[in-house]
Amino acid sequence: MLREANLARTFVELADTLVADFDVVELLTLLTDRCVELLELDAAGIMLVSPEGGLRAMASSSEAMRILELFELQSEEGPCLDCFRTGQPVMNQHLDELNGRWPRFTAEALRAGFRSVHALPMRLRGTVIGALNLFSVEARAMRQVDVDVAQALADVATIGILQHRAAAESQVLNDQLNRALNSRVMIEQAKGMVAEREALDMQQAFSRLRTHARNHNLRLVDLAQDVIAGVVSASALDLPRGTPS
Amino acid sequence: MKEPRDRRLRILELLAGDATLNTETKKLCQVCADVTGMTGAGIMLMSGDTPRGSVCTTNDVSSLIEELQYELGEGPCVDAHEQGTPVLEPDLAEPLVPRWLAFRAPALAAGARAVFGFPMLVGAVRLGALNLYCDRPGPLTDDQYADALVAAGVAARAILALQAHAPADGLAAELEAGADFRYVVHQASGMVAAQLGVTVGQALVRLRAYAFGNGRSLASVAREVVGRVLRFDEQSGEKDPSP
């Protein structure tokens, strides 16, 4: 399919998730998945600011621990933190040529096989709420058209997160971010439970939860809560399509 | 507005010192009152996972506010705990919505004019609520609100550390390390809950207890659980992970 058609479909898909009381983790995970597909990148993640202490990883195109930790590390240093602090994109950082700008981040990113990294702000008017992080295994610059697409996707998600409030209501924003971060923790707890009960890795456990939530039109976070509470058993979760049963 | 990162650092700095764990919890309550500019503060445990009861209060009024809520089963902290969201009453004398019919009069008579409850949550684990009150009416400012959210988060982690019998300096170290922000810790708590057939809240405490007992970081223990190097249901006898 043409990229334009894919892109249009993605915007519709994102808009479709923006119902009242939508699931922030689901929205952001969808966004990271589509960034990887549409922009031919190798990994994408989103960090949001917490009322508690800087940036926290909220969504990732991969649940592999090595990738998740690359995002988590950036609460300390890295392109996301710089992008968040300045509100400006941090583009086309070739990891081989960074000369100690982010020593821990660079070492870990290279070890995970990446060669270039980018970060775009999640910003609406004056408020920066986080950053979109993009990784490639090739040391190449992003084309401007791709940067524009990524920024547009990030903007849609930002508007979604900020839409339920008047822009100046910092209490509501803080509350919403806090709730989103807690729902991410809940999903991790549920992933652990499903992984243990069904002998799956974290990626597989997450797909089970996500597939089941979609099939049954549930919010991911609500399903996570039900799994943790034992209302839904791990073995009852739908298998992702194409999984041999 | 302050930088978000500063809020947590400020609380940690105020908590720092060579205090024992017991005095640290008392200090924690005072710090929660101080950072939010409130007259008093308390920490109420209300989870099914853990014993109900007050962890600490800063003064008699805070204590009374908690006792009333335990006895009457209503009030800002009860609601915050049940709803999982902050509950604000800027003026008990002229409340926006009529509620807490039994709680209101004695709380007012004791000198509480504005009361606020902030839930202490770690994912699906609901521990209770941070209880804040002011002797004057008025809403929280944005800064006070953000500080209260952060204080409730710090209090939640402090309680988990306490329940895991953290060593005297363990609480500060635990809060400093910020291990609670790591995905892997929460994945591991889900796995341990399934291994032991306990709640995720109890699993969180077991993980911490194992880390403290073995002088290891929570994140490294969690990584071994997720990496399937360490199981909690195979531990027994002298290797029992809960000391």
Is residue B150 within 8 angstroms of chain A, CB to CB? Answer: yes
User: Do B164 and B201 have their domain in common?
Assistant: no
Reported ipTM: 0.87
Per-residue pLDDT at A244: 54
- Torsion from C-alpha of A197, A202, A204, A209, nearest 10 degrees: 70
- CATH number for the A3-164 domain, one of 3.60.150.10, 2.60.40.420, 3.50.50.60, 3.30.450.40? 3.30.450.40
User: Do B188 and B168 have their domain in common?
Assistant: no
Interface of A with B in 143-182 (CB under 8 A): 170-171, 174-175, 178-179, 182
Cβ atoms within 10 A of the Cβ of A125, count?
Answer: 9
- B237: pLDDT strictly greater than 50: no
- Torsion from C-alpha of B191, B197, B203, B206, nearest 10 degrees: -110
> Does A50 contact B4 at a Cβ distance shorter than 8 Å?
yes
Q: Residue B164's pLDDT band (boundaries 50, 70, 90)?
A: confident
Model pLDDT for residues B44-75, shown as the tens digit of each residue = 998 765 557 888 899 999 999 999 999 999 99
A76 vs A192, more confident: A192
Q: Residue A174's pLDDT band (boundaries 50, 70, 90)?
A: confident
Lowest-confidence region among A126-140, A169-183, B213-227: A169-183
> Does B194 contact A49 at a Cβ distance shorter than 8 Å?
no
User: Do B152 and B219 have their domain in common?
Assistant: no
d(CA A236, CA A194): 10
Summarize the confidence of residues A120-126 as an average pLDDT: 89
Q: Residue A161's pLDDT band (boundaries 50, 70, 90)?
A: confident
Model pLDDT for residues B174-209, shown as the tens digit of each residue = 666 665 668 899 999 999 999 999 999 999 999 999
Number of domains in chain B: 2
d(CA A104, CA B241): 32
User: Do B108 and B218 have their domain in common?
Assistant: no
User: Do B98 and B214 have their domain in common?
Assistant: no
What does the DSSP 8-state code read for residue B195?
H
CA distance B67 to chain A (A): 27
Return the residue of A nearest to B227 by Cα.
A201
A2 vs B16, more confident: A2
Residue in A72, A188, A197 closest to B123 by CB: A188
A103: which 2 tokens?
């020593």
Summarize the confidence of residues B122-140 as an average pLDDT: 95
User: Do B133 and B188 have their domain in common?
Assistant: no
Per-residue pLDDT at A245: 47
Q: Residue B13's pLDDT band (boundaries 50, 70, 90)?
A: low
- A59: pLDDT strictly greater than 80: yes
User: Do B125 and B218 have their domain in common?
Assistant: no
Is residue B186 within 8 angstroms of chain A, CB to CB? Answer: yes
CA distance B194 to chain A (A): 6
The vertex-A49 CA angle with A46 and A143, nearest 5°, equals 35
> Does A192 contact B190 at a Cβ distance shorter than 8 Å?
yes
Q: Residue A183's pLDDT band (boundaries 50, 70, 90)?
A: very high
Per-residue pLDDT at B49: 52
User: Do B135 and B111 have their domain in common?
Assistant: yes
Per-residue pLDDT at B8: 64
Write down which residue in B174, B208, B229 finishes a domain. B174
> Does A53 contact B8 at a Cβ distance shorter than 8 Å?
yes
Task: List the single best residue of A55, A63, A171, A209 to mutate versus B (max B Cβ within 10 A).
Answer: A171
- A84: pLDDT strictly greater than 90: yes
Write down which residue in B143, B174, B205 finishes a domain. B174
- A219: pLDDT strictly greater than 90: yes
- Show Cβ contacts of residue A160 under 8 Å, excluding neighbours closer than 6 positions: A14, A17, A18, A22, A27
B110: which 2 tokens?
């004791």
User: Do B122 and B78 have their domain in common?
Assistant: yes
CATH number, domain of B200, equals 1.10.10
Range(s) of chain A covered by CATH 3.30.450.40: 3-164
User: Do B111 and B202 have their domain in common?
Assistant: no
For residue A131, give the H/E element and its range: strand A127-136
> Does A192 contact B195 at a Cβ distance shorter than 8 Å?
no
Is residue B90 within 8 angstroms of chain A, CB to CB? Answer: no
User: Cβ contacts (< 8 Å) between A234 and chain B: which residues?
Assistant: 194
Is residue B206 within 8 angstroms of chain A, CB to CB? Answer: no
> Does B195 contact A202 at a Cβ distance shorter than 8 Å?
no
> Does B123 contact A195 at a Cβ distance shorter than 8 Å?
no
Query: What residue numbers bound the domain in which B82 lies?
Result: 4-174
d(CA A57, CA A78): 13
CATH number, domain of B154, equals 3.30.450.40
Summarize the confidence of residues A118-143 as an average pLDDT: 92
Summarize the confidence of residues A5-13 as an average pLDDT: 87
Is residue A57 within 8 angstroms of chain B, CB to CB? Answer: yes
User: Do B98 and B203 have their domain in common?
Assistant: no
User: Do B99 and B32 have their domain in common?
Assistant: yes
B5 vs A217, more confident: A217
At residue B129, the 3 state secondary structure works out as strand
C-alpha distances (whole Å) from B56 to each of A103, A152, B68, B128 are 42, 48, 15, 13
> Does B223 contact A190 at a Cβ distance shorter than 8 Å?
no
Summarize the confidence of residues A36-52 as an average pLDDT: 91
Summarize the confidence of residues A225-230 as an average pLDDT: 96
A204: which 2 tokens?
């597989």
Write down which residue in B174, B191, B216 finishes a domain. B174
d(CA B24, CA B27): 5
